[in-house]
Structure 1
């Protein structure tokens, strides 16, 4: 059965979110047996003790591209990257994949005569924090694994050249595209990818509104997440074509 609104899924989230999960403006009432006063529960995932050590699955441990190393040593790219990562670390939003994956611009960078890698400008650094925290949270909860980030920030020029939406969350540095599984999946990989998609949809249906989570699920292993609005879509850019438009048991 298709669904457009899932407000009922968020009525009981208070007891399920560890340490909380969305923006500071969003709160959920939590009732106790003694009818205690309503408590405000922050919904942005917070570390319980300390920021977890970065770990990368063996299946996505790939040699650092030579093109990235060349780019890194040009101009002040290394300095800019260090500043960006320091900012993210202070906000508990560290990368969980290799740097070069997070700095990829877009697949059409060559056609647009653009750079393959780019550090976002400082004015949009803050926008990446909730989405990176969400990505890490999904990983910690075992909802996703074996991922490779294919795109995150996209400059306005590159976005326009590549045919992206004018209000693209990539331009705001609030989106992450990633692939589940290998580039050329086997039938066994296809099954694992589908199961991961179902887990993502189930999470979005239950908790997505509290994360302000946008989720694009495509027929391939490609996934889009952002934190600028609760919505889902598929190949037709409509909720009707999204796997998450169905109730996932």
Structure 2
């Protein structure tokens, strides 16, 4: 028996039975979690006119030079990333910007060498203890530091006049300059005092070159270099530190005529962040 079209239309529009309903479950209430309070951002800014790295870092070994170098060969970005990740896993990334830790020798141009080089991965462990010492016992004493020379392959080391047994060849050594204003006697005194106490357990070597360039490695406990008057830079027994308010005069280096008390300088160095809370160039994405 055929049903009239009007009846079929009425049946199709009828409300579904209760058994046919599938109620949508209520959504859980939205929970708004408070945002974590961001840690205060410590800033470190260069003092105008103070750039001791300029004595050693030439065009091509600076930031623009690094960018050009890393983009010249596609594999370099990956190599830098792996090195940076290794430092991070070892707890020593951001002691200094990773890209600066790839600087070779200050004489790279004269020697026809590369301004930067990613060392062989088997040498990477050699820099870890050096950076730990710098992080824990150099930066707290003199403030942030900038690497100006790190790994040197055998040919570059020979051309640059490095000792045949130089630990720059195995990436244990880093030459630095301080980024906070300090004179050379103050730099030597602070680093020698810390090295005398903490250096032995790191096998830390500490050496001083001209101006404000100094060397740190973790190959053997020793010191070398002389002060401005020919005296041994780090005597075995250091004289007592002068009482406050002795001053470290930085006017000669900055031309500012400013002085700062030793106590204030040490406190500022301890409060200064590593270079240190960010590293925009390493690894390059």
TM-score, length-scaled by structure 1: 0.67
| SS of residue paired to 2:156 | helix
The equivalent of 2:211 in structure 1 is 220
| SS of residue paired to 2:83 | helix
Distance 1:214 1:55, change over 3 A: farther
- Name structure 2 gaps, 5 residues minimum: 1-39, 52-61, 241-285
**1: CA distance, partners of 2:120 / 2:209:** 29
Aligned residues: 186
**1: CA distance, partners of 2:112 / 2:105:** 11
Q: In the alignment, is the contact (CA less than 8 A) between 2:137 and 2:198 conserved in 1?
A: no
The equivalent of 2:186 in structure 1 is 195
Q: In the alignment, is the contact (CA less than 8 A) between 2:84 and 2:98 conserved in 1?
A: no
RMSD after superposition: 2.8
Distance 1:243 1:54, change over 3 A: farther
- Name structure 1 gaps, 5 residues minimum: 1-52, 183-188
Distance 1:218 1:163, change over 3 A: closer
Higher relative contact order (CA 8 A, sep 6+): 2
Within 5 A, what are the aligned runs for 1:69-218?
69-75=67-73, 76-139=75-138, 142-181=140-179, 189-191=181-183, 193-218=184-209
Moved over 4 A (4+): 53-56
Shift of 1:216: 0.2
**2: CA distance, partners of 1:168 / 1:89:** 26
Question: Structure 1, residues 121-157: CA drift from partner, whole Å, max 9, x if none?
Answer: 11101111100111111256x2121422111111111
Q: In the alignment, is the contact (CA less than 8 A) between 2:138 and 2:191 conserved in 1?
A: no
Distance 1:248 1:206, change over 3 A: farther
**1: CA distance, partners of 2:135 / 2:145:** 12
Q: In the alignment, is the contact (CA less than 8 A) between 1:233 and 1:241 conserved in 2?
A: no
**Which among 59, 63, 66 is matched to residue 64 of structure 2?**
66
Which of these two proteins has the greater Rg computed from alpha carbons?
A: 2
